[in-house]
Amino acid sequence: MVLKYMGIKLIFVLIMILTIFFVMPSTSHIAVADSNETVIHPKFPADPDPKTFWGAVITTGYTTQPAKVSHVTVGDPLTLETQVKWPIWEPSRIIGYYWWRSFDGNNWERMNTVSLTNKGSKNLKVDTSKPGVTYYFLRTRFITTTYTSKVSTVYVSEKPIDASSINVTTDLNYLFNINSDLLNKDTMAHAELQPDDSNSKIHWSSSDESLATVQPDELITANGNGKSGIVTITGTAENKNGPSISGSKEILIGGGLTNQTVNSGKKATFTLQGGNDEQRDNDYAFTVDWYKQLPNQKPTLVEHQKDPARIEYTTPITSTKDDGAQYYARISVGKNNSVTTGSAKLTVLPPNDPDVNIETSVTNQSFPDKDDSPTTINNVTNDDQLTYNLNLTNNSKRAVHDTYLELPLPLGTEINSITVDGEELFELDYYQSDTDKKSILHIDLDGLDQNQSKSLKIDTLTHDITSKESFLSTPEYYGLDPDGDKYTSYGPELNINYITNKLTAQFKDISFEPISLYDGHSIKHRTEETNDPNPVIKVDDQRRQKMAMRLFLTQLTPFTSDTNVILPASLRLYNGSTFKNPLYQKTLVSQSHNGNIFNSIIWHKDNGLLLHLDKKSFVSGKYSSKLSWTFEQSI
């Protein structure tokens, strides 16, 4: 038998993907004209609307602009309502309100003056005594700057024009029942009439004034008593020449959070309602502390958020112990401004997940071993064909979709074929991805309906086995349940025991005790590194079929010094008190029988190869001899 040794190098290639995103800027332009296409040239450009964050004004500006277009009949009352706000952490420094008007949209005149005792008014009672078109805007002057509103166009007609339809809208769909400047507690209603020039008077009403009220000036205000519910805001166009017509809009009133119901094993997410976080300005810091309170227990802080992109909290995976818990948030702006939301209840129902059971087995088609089991196979070597069988069964009434299976395999495993319910998959339906220690087989599947089963058969070929080792593989099944939540199921662990199917041996050089000049006719023993328990020959017998094996030794050369002096000595192979000598012919050292491994060669100090000195005098020097070891397998 010839023993060969091979060095195998594994080359790993790391591929780095650099992704570059290009962002193209965009611009937009706005042209302003009244309903008769008259181009308006404001004396001062309008300032942008303020940035707000859940009711907290971050930058100064008009939260309520004067109505863009108003139609009235001569003599009917009309008031242009405005509201300018500034950050709550800044003091008010308003000097005065200046109203401007124009009859042609080009030439403007200031309508009032201000003084220390008369700052003017943010609202304007319009003169409707004469028919015509008038344009108005407001300038609110602070100590250091002035803010200009958008232009309002007022049409005063001699005759009433009835509305044929009405569409009611509101600036916000959610209002907080909490008294705080940090949250939206009010909003504006709007009535869009057809035809556009209708000048019917609008009467506003609320379906439940304990939830929210609406003023004649279209201002809707939620209650501050913590009462929640849905309120209907109705606008009625009071036509003078025909029946009145109405339109309505529902608004949700609440404490900011809504109750959540989930099944055990799912996560719940509480999101602050009524937000406009798209206007968030990163120059101002917000922090949010989320609290959880179980029944009859004190609240506990569950998460601190600094400048969150959204004000929301997702719980860990829930259990029935979380049923009935209350959650709320405390929002802080700056150092001295904070508000606490209302509480929301978490209801946890019994689990309702899919239940996919995985039955798994693996067989060695090339060499079934007597000790194999459905989940463990032994003595697997290169070029063996292994078959994995997996049966997937959904035992629940909940389907699972967008599914795939992952099966860890040893590196170098070749996929011959994969079938699902007897139909072979295309190579596009699966792929392998390698890591440092294993290869992951990824198989895309369609999903499993309730009580549905699928059978998979994976035929593979084994390669690159270079040592004796065990490989553990756990099949993993992934998908989404009907709620869109991730679902995972694990199969039984598979154990594959690999061997090289080879016998390998490591030979040590043998050294003997030093020889003195007068040590003739004596035995020299081996040094300690080749005495029991240290093997002279370390044998690793991984042969799958262990036929009888014999080991022979042949001394090829006498002991010779560097100056070609031959040592008068001979090697003897001792076994107890008997020995074999000389060893220049092939000599049996050890043997094994059929079905048994070949053991390593370990000799006691007085057994094995010993050196016999044939004379009494010697020439000093370092002597060596060449030995040939040969393994022969019986047939």
Question: Residue 590: which H helix or E strand, with range?
Answer: strand 587-592
Boundary (domain end) residue, out of 157, 185, 213: 157
Domain assignment present for residue 31? The answer is no
Q: CA of 314: how far to CAs of 54, 269, 277, 318, 327, in Å?
A: 20, 4, 18, 10, 11
**CA pair distance 199, 586, nearest whole angstrom:** 123
User: Do 276 and 394 sit in the same domain of this protein?
Assistant: no
Average pLDDT over residues 465-482: 95
The band of 43, judged by pLDDT with boundaries at 50, 70 and 90, is very high
The band of 351, judged by pLDDT with boundaries at 50, 70 and 90, is confident
Domain assignment present for residue 548? The answer is yes
**CA pair distance 339, 334, nearest whole angstrom:** 12
User: Do 480 and 605 sit in the same domain of this protein?
Assistant: no
Task: Decide: 525 and 603 in contact? Cβ < 8 Å.
Answer: no
User: Do 152 and 228 sit in the same domain of this protein?
Assistant: no
Output the domain CATH number for residue 426. 2.60.40.740
Query: Smallest Cα–Cα separation from 535: which of 493, 569, 506, 577?
Result: 506
Percent of the chain with pLDDT over 70: 92
Measured at the CA of 199, the angle between CA 197 and CA 202, to 5 degrees, comes to 130
User: Do 566 and 613 sit in the same domain of this protein?
Assistant: yes
pLDDT > 50? residue 346: yes
* Full domain range(s) for residue 343: 260-349
Per the listing, tokens 């500034």 go with: 86
pLDDT score for 635: 64
Domain assignment present for residue 36? The answer is no
pLDDT score for 330: 94
pLDDT > 60? residue 15: no
DSSP letters of 79-148?
EE--EEE--TTS---EEEEEEEEESSSSS-EE-----SS----SSEE---SS-EEEEEEEEEEESS-EEE
pLDDT > 90? residue 289: yes
pLDDT score for 13: 27
The band of 33, judged by pLDDT with boundaries at 50, 70 and 90, is very low
**CA pair distance 400, 483, nearest whole angstrom:** 10
The band of 275, judged by pLDDT with boundaries at 50, 70 and 90, is low
User: Do 56 and 80 sit in the same domain of this protein?
Assistant: yes
Measured at the CA of 503, the angle between CA 371 and CA 380, to 5 degrees, comes to 35
The band of 512, judged by pLDDT with boundaries at 50, 70 and 90, is very high
Boundary (domain end) residue, out of 498, 527, 548: 498
Number of domains in the chain: 5
Output the domain CATH number for residue 182. 2.60.40.1080
pLDDT > 70? residue 32: no
Domain assignment present for residue 264? The answer is yes
Task: Decide: 629 and 552 in contact? Cβ < 8 Å.
Answer: yes
Domain assignment present for residue 581? The answer is yes
Average pLDDT over residues 303-309: 86
Output the domain CATH number for residue 272. 2.60.40.10
Query: Smallest Cα–Cα separation from 623: which of 583, 554, 566?
Result: 566
User: Do 249 and 276 sit in the same domain of this protein?
Assistant: no
CA neighbours within 13 Å on the CB side: how many for 211? 18
**CA pair distance 447, 87, nearest whole angstrom:** 53
Percent of the chain with pLDDT over 90: 76
User: Do 282 and 368 sit in the same domain of this protein?
Assistant: no
Domain assignment present for residue 6? The answer is no
pLDDT > 50? residue 308: yes
The band of 37, judged by pLDDT with boundaries at 50, 70 and 90, is low
Per-residue pLDDT tens digits for 492-507: 999 999 999 999 999 9
Name the DSSP class of 39: B
Task: Classify each residue of 241-258 as buried b or exposed e, where b means 16 or more C-beta atoms within 10 Å of its C-beta.
Answer: eeeebebebebbbbbbbe
User: Do 360 and 460 sit in the same domain of this protein?
Assistant: yes
Per-residue pLDDT tens digits for 516-542: 877 888 999 999 999 999 999 999 999
Boundary (domain end) residue, out of 324, 349, 374: 349
Per-residue pLDDT tens digits for 409-462: 999 999 999 999 999 999 999 999 999 889 999 999 989 999 999 999 999 999
User: Do 361 and 493 sit in the same domain of this protein?
Assistant: yes
Provide the residue type at 510 as one letter: I
Average pLDDT over residues 111-117: 89
Average pLDDT over residues 268-295: 78
Domain assignment present for residue 11? The answer is no
pLDDT > 50? residue 1: no
Domain assignment present for residue 42? The answer is no
Average pLDDT over residues 307-332: 92
3-state secondary structure (DSSP) of residue 239: coil
Q: What is the mean pLDDT of the chain?
A: 89
pLDDT score for 276: 56
User: Do 144 and 276 sit in the same domain of this protein?
Assistant: no
Per-residue pLDDT tens digits for 177-193: 999 888 889 999 999 99
pLDDT score for 485: 84
User: Do 433 and 480 sit in the same domain of this protein?
Assistant: yes
Output the domain CATH number for residue 524. 2.60.40
Q: What is the pTM of this model?
A: 0.57
User: Do 122 and 90 sit in the same domain of this protein?
Assistant: yes
